[in-house]
Amino acid sequence: MNSQIIEIPATQWQLPATQNKWINALEQGKVLYFPQLPFTLTADERSLLTPKVLEEKVRNISLANHHELKGAAGDKQTQKLLKNMLQRYRSHSEQLIHSLLPKYQGALREAPTSYRPKAVEARKQSWRADDRRMHVDSFPSRPNHGERILRVFSNINPAGVPRVWRVGEPFADMVKTMLPRAKPYVRWQAKALHKLGITKSLRSEYDHLMLQLHDNMKADMDYQTSAPQVTMPFAAGSAWVCFSDHALHGVESGQYMLEQTFHIAPEDQYDPNISPLAHLNTVMQRQLV
Ligand code: SIN
Ligand code: FE
């Protein structure tokens, strides 16, 4: 397997210049790793490095585009610090993405910023929701009709603990194994799910197949352990970027991470022909959206 991880020695969130080989790698589903790109907390913000800032029973704190903070416990001052930290992380991520991918400017749709202060090892979840198992991101209640999921991650662990991921084989290789197991799409079922409010919009055949790939990968423990993969410790003080609907990933361990999501239509990519939707359209020999 060619390396699925490309290291970039940048030290500033605003890159002085980008490179086509980085852009191609990212759009092909690889992970761009910036080992020397820390997101530095202020002295006050360091008090946020505890799972106590989380409301009960939630995993993440998130800041929506319209500045609403969700999932945070604590007093007004704590909430204000959280909001500031997340806003600053959002603007650092924007700088990185705009300088790495200038053509995306104007085409990106911003999604929430999130802070994950819990230790991954402490999570208890059903196999389907368990992100320790390798998967591509696909969300049961939020069909996206092929819109891409681009994410910027930063490990802000204060004690030097890495965030350890497993990064799997290329998407197309996984599809060869997993697509034959997919249940067929049933349009009336998708309509019923939408009508009942279980999905926020109509689940397209694309969304159905992506969920099937996600579930079938997670359900297969033999695939999880034996499929081609690399274990990748993302160092404290580093950042990494990937299309999480395309790069196979699972998180093994770590604590304290920030994440910013962006969406973009595949037509607006540098190469619109490389995306999960384009690939699945080709394999299925029809338009899935
Ligand atoms: C995921 O996106 O699957 C989880 C990533 C992480 O928590 O490190
Ligand atoms: Fe994921």
pLDDT digits (tens, 9 = 90+) for 75-96: 999 999 999 999 999 999 999 9
Question: Is the Cβ–Cβ distance between 279 and 171 less than 8 Å?
Answer: yes
Q: Which of 251, 260, 261 to mutate to test the pocket of ligand 1 (most atoms within 8 A of CB)?
A: 251
The residue nearest atom 6 of ligand 1, judged by CA position, is 251
Residue 43 CA to its chain's centroid (Å): 28
The two three-digit tokens of residue 159, written as one number: 């004690």
Is residue 148 in contact with ligand 1, taking CB distance under 6 Å? no
Q: Which of 244, 245, 246, 255 to mutate to test the pocket of ligand 1 (most atoms within 8 A of CB)?
A: 244
pTM value is 0.97
| Separation between Cα atoms, residue 163 and residue 155, nearest integer Å | 7
pLDDT digits (tens, 9 = 90+) for 152-170: 999 999 999 999 999 999 9
Beta bridge partners of 116: 257
The residue nearest atom 3 of ligand 1, judged by CA position, is 131
Distance from the alpha carbon of residue 163 to the mean position of ligand 1, in angstroms: 9
Q: How would residue 2 be classed by pLDDT, with cut points 50, 70 and 90?
A: low
DSSP string across 122-147 = G----TTT-TTS-B----TT---TT-
141: pLDDT strictly greater than 70: yes
| Separation between Cα atoms, residue 48 and residue 281, nearest integer Å | 45
E strands in 67-139: 69-70, 109-116
pLDDT digits (tens, 9 = 90+) for 209-263: 999 999 999 999 999 999 999 999 999 999 999 999 999 999 999 999 999 999 9
